[in-house]
């Protein structure tokens, strides 16, 4: 590995770990808020217990999310000083505002956790709202930097100097809304399906009709509804994102679809892998004309193929697999949630078949995998650029070359963190069962919440 690849691998590993916790860290507050609102509607204490247990989970997950985020924030300048030089000059605002968003989240989280019993239920909802808002805003703002990397705006280069800087034009770059929206919606989807996975697993482990079974079924129902709404919105937004790619980063779209020749009536290929020599996707299933239609809402739309770009501008061709995995998992989630909703609401069944529950158990990890695929696709699909057509990855990287040792050290740390976070969650929830929490909630004078920050 040369040192650019090493730096990419190093930063990529950090992101791959961080994004799991960051995504759930945005999705879970939304679920907590939903549970508190359900309590307002139904006055069923189990929803408060649910919110409490999710809060605890979030608290533990933040133990990895915040430190890995700290690493990400600092490592950007350590590994990509050339890139951060441009970002500092042009696109500093999102990072700045993100700090405040995070502080708002931390502040209201502390109020929610410390003062839960002392404040009125509506104040609890308000503080949770700000927790969720802060988390979502952080994600949106950071994704905005990613959006800027794909569709830079607000500056230009003149003789190697950055001129005509307009920080707000950079902030509101063309793909800000679709990209940031995609991050937020997929985080909500993932939050819902991760909760669904745990709930479904617990239902499989408990007898039908017990308090614990009912508790988890309530959680599952809540996450099915929200999961369906957000996965559907993700699909709509994904469509818009693809159209942006078509207009603004055509070689990324071409690589995602394995399209070499420019043509109208272009087909969409699912599965398979892109063969560079044969210039086609092997072992895929082609849906004729669909790509043209998706790109420009008409079958006549001409989609530019990779051959119209110099080969050194081509993204790696494996992004086809990543893009497919993301889209297929996303569609699967919609189908699963829709099926479960119909089963429950219209067929009026009082519980779900075991195989559906097992599918939900799988859906949690799959949604996280989909997030990972999406991010790797989005970032490797932009190669060889860090800022599209403005700044190359080679010009961004540090001149320090002995990254091997540092990389090993970071990998070790991530392994330690990931193992101990799983252990911590299992340990804690084994000793604090749902039944205990429900019992405590019913004995009003006991403290339901305790410090976990």
Partner 1 sequence: MSDALLAITLVWGFIFLYAIMASMDFGAGFWAMTYIKKEETNATKIANSYLSPTWEVTNTFVVGLVIAIYSLFPGAVFTIGVALIVPASLILVLLCIRSAFLVFSHSVEKYEKALTYISGLTGLIIPGLLISVLPITHLGFVEGMRGNEELNLFKLFTSPNEYAFMGFGILSTLFLSSLLLSDYSKQADEMKAYKIYRRDAMITGPLMLVMAMMVMITLKSEANWLYEGMMKNSALLLVSLVFFIISGVALYLPYFSKREVKGMPRIAVIAIIIQYLVGSYVYGIAHLPYIIYPNVTILSGFTDPTSFRAVFATYIVGFAILVPGFYYFWSIFMKDQRRKFKRRQMTN
The residues binding partner 1 (CB under 8 A) are 56, 59-60, 62-64, 66-71, 73-75, 77-82, 84-90, 92-93, 95-97, 99-100, 102-104, 106-107, 110-111, 114-115, 162, 165-168, 398-400, 406, 409-410, 413, 416-417, 420-421, 423-425, 427-428, 451-453
What DSSP character marks residue 315?
Answer: P
Residue 130: CB minimum distance to partner 1, A = 10
Residue 144: CB minimum distance to partner 1, A = 14
Nearer to partner 1 among residue 147 and residue 254 (C-beta): 147
Residue 57: CB minimum distance to partner 1, A = 10
Separation CA 225–CA 204 (nearest Å): 20
Question: Which H or E element spans position 133?
Answer: helix 121-150
Nearer to partner 1 among residue 399 and residue 443 (C-beta): 399
Nearer to partner 1 among residue 10 and residue 147 (C-beta): 10
Torsion of CA 402, 408, 410, 414, to 10 degrees: 160
Nearer to partner 1 among residue 318 and residue 428 (C-beta): 428
Instruction: Please answer whether residues 375 and 179 qualify as being in contact, where contact means their C-beta atoms are separated by less than 8 angstroms.
Output: no
Q: At what angle do helices 3-42 and 176-205 cross, to 10 degrees?
A: 70
Residue 182: CB minimum distance to partner 1, A = 24
Nearer to partner 1 among residue 129 and residue 273 (C-beta): 129
What is the full DSSP assignment across 62-84?
Answer: HHHHHHHHHHHHHHHHHH-HHHH
Residue 127: CB minimum distance to partner 1, A = 11
Strands (E), 283-409: 285-287, 385-387, 391-392
Residue 155: CB minimum distance to partner 1, A = 8
Kindly tell me the sign of the dihedral angle through the C-alpha atoms of 361, 366, 369, 374. negative
Instruction: Please answer whether residues 377 and 322 qualify as being in contact, where contact means their C-beta atoms are separated by less than 8 angstroms.
Output: yes
What DSSP character marks residue 399?
Answer: S
Residue 186: CB minimum distance to partner 1, A = 24
Instruction: Please answer whether residues 218 and 198 qualify as being in contact, where contact means their C-beta atoms are separated by less than 8 angstroms.
Output: no
Nearer to partner 1 among residue 2 and residue 311 (C-beta): 2
Instruction: Please answer whether residues 111 and 443 qualify as being in contact, where contact means their C-beta atoms are separated by less than 8 angstroms.
Output: no
Nearer to partner 1 among residue 78 and residue 341 (C-beta): 78
Residues 6+ positions from 100 with CB-CB distance below 8 Å = none
Residue 106: CB minimum distance to partner 1, A = 5
Nearer to partner 1 among residue 168 and residue 355 (C-beta): 168
Separation CA 388–CA 397 (nearest Å): 15
Decide: helix, strand or coil at residue 162. strand
């Amino acid at each position: 590995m040369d040192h650019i690849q090493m730096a990419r691998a190093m930063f990529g590993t950090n992101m791959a770990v961080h994004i799991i916790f960051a995504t759930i860290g945005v999705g879970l507050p939304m679920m907590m808020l939903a549970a508190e609102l359900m309590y307002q509607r139904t006055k069923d204490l189990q929803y408060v217990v649910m919110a409490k247990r999710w809060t605890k989970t979030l608290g533990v997950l933040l133990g990895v999310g915040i430190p890995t985020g700290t690493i990400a924030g600092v490592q950007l300048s350590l590994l990509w000083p050339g890139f951060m030089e441009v970002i500092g000059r042009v696109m500093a605002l999102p990072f700045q505002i993100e700090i405040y968003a995070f502080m708002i989240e931390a502040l209201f989280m502390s109020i929610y956790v410390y003062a839960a019993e002392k404040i009125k239920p509506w104040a609890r909802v308000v503080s949770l709202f700000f927790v969720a808002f802060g988390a979502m805003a952080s994600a949106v703002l950071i994704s905005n930097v990613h959006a800027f990397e794909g569709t830079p705006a607000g500056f230009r280069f003149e003789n190697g100097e950055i001129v005509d800087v307009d920080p707000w034009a950079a902030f509101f770059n063309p793909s800000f809304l679709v990209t940031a929206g995609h991050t937020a919606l997929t985080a909500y989807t993932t939050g819902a399906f991760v909760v669904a996975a745990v709930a479904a697993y617990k239902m499989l482990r408990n007898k039908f009709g017990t308090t614990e079974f009912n508790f988890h079924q309530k959680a599952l129902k809540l996450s099915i509804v929200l999961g369906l709404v957000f996965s559907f919105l993700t699909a709509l937004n994904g469509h818009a994102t693809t159209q942006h790619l078509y207009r603004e980063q055509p070689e990324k779209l071409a690589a995602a679809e394995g399209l070499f020749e420019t043509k109208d009536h272009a087909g969409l290929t699912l599965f398979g892998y892109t063969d560079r020599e044969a210039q086609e996707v092997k072992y895929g299933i082609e849906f004729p004309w669909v790509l043209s239609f998706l790109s420009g809402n008409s079958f006549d739309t001409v989609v530019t193929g990779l051959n119209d770009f110099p080969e050194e501008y081509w993204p790696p061709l494996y992004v086809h697999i990543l893009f497919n995995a993301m889209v297929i998992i996303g569609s699967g989630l919609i189908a699963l949630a829709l099926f479960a909703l119909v089963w429950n609401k219209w067929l009026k069944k009082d519980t779900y078949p075991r195989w559906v529950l097992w599918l939900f158990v799988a859906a949690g990890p799959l949604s996280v995998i989909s997030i990972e695929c999406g991010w790797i696709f989005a970032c490797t699909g932009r190669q060889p650029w860090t800022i599209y057509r403005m700044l190359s990855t080679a010009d961004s990287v540090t001149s320090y070359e002995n990254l091997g040792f540092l990389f090993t050290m970071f990998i070790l740390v991530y392994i330690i963190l990931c193992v101990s976070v799983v252990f911590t969650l299992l340990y804690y929830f084994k000793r604090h069962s749902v039944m205990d929490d429900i019992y405590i909630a019913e004995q009003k004078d006991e403290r339901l919440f305790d410090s976990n920050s």
